[in-house]
Amino acid sequence: MKVKMMIASLTLLATSVSASPFEKPEDAIHYRQAAFSMIAANFGDMADMVKGRKDWNQEVFSKRAQYISTLALMPAEAFSVDGSDKGDTKAKPEIWTDWDGFTVKLNKFQTDLTQLAQVASQGDERATKKAFGVAAKNCKACHSDYKFR
Ligand code: HEC
């Protein structure tokens, strides 16, 4: 019985180790920065539409909202990599000393983006702009506590 349990927990351990796609901490840093820069590129285009610097296009807006709602799921895994607090990163140490607080911000970000994608897909321009405003607050809210400028 005990042996079986040990084997089970070893298997679990092996799975969680090999489940990481990152060989080095730098890989994790690049990965999360890449995710954020893709989020920012899509978000910037959406902001241009909301602010009237570009013609409104519900279909394009909705597509971008879908993209970022998926992209926002990606950084968390890369922040959990040991050693990725050092090197070419703007991540503040508070991410790891206050992991719970950081996770709350990340989860809220994901929730608001999922909501935005859903509202945008329903086609109501006014409601979409309102949901965008809610989602947009997350960037600064997290950066001011957890990212160096
Ligand atoms: C939950 C926290 C959090 C939220 C929410 C968040 N960011 Fe970030 N962002 C970070 C952290 C931390 C970094 C630094 C990553 C690093 O350098 O390792 C970062 C980095 C970036 C970068 C730099 C990427 C690079 O190439 O180095 C951009 C651009 C960015 N974020 C844009 C945004 C935008 C736009 C939003 C909102 C739509 C947003 N972020 C929401 C935490 C967050």
Q: What is the CATH number of the domain that holds 76?
A: 1.20.120.10
For residue 91, report the phi and psi dihedrals to the nearest 5 degrees.
-70, 130
Please check whether residue 14 lies inside any domain of the structure: no
Do the beta carbons of residue 59 and residue 114 sit within 8 Å? no
Please check whether residue 57 lies inside any domain of the structure: yes
Q: Is a pLDDT exceeding 90 seen at residue 7?
A: no
Which residue range is the domain that position 46 belongs to? 25-146
Q: Which amino acid does the sequence have at 34?
A: A
How many independent structural domains does the chain possess? 1
Q: Is 5 exposed, middle or buried (0-12, 13-18, 19+ CB in 10 A)?
A: exposed
Please check whether residue 83 lies inside any domain of the structure: yes
What is the sign of the dihedral through the CA atoms of 131, 104, 66 and 89?
positive
End-to-end Cα separation, the chain, in angstroms: 54
Please name the residue whose Cα sits nearest to atom 2 of ligand 1: 142
Q: CB under 6 Å to ligand 1: residues?
A: 29, 32-33, 36-37, 39-40, 43, 89-91, 105-106, 109, 138-139, 142-143, 146-147
Tell me: the pLDDT tens digits for 44-75? Answer: 999 999 999 999 999 999 999 999 999 999 99
Please check whether residue 95 lies inside any domain of the structure: yes
Global model pTM greater than 0.95: no
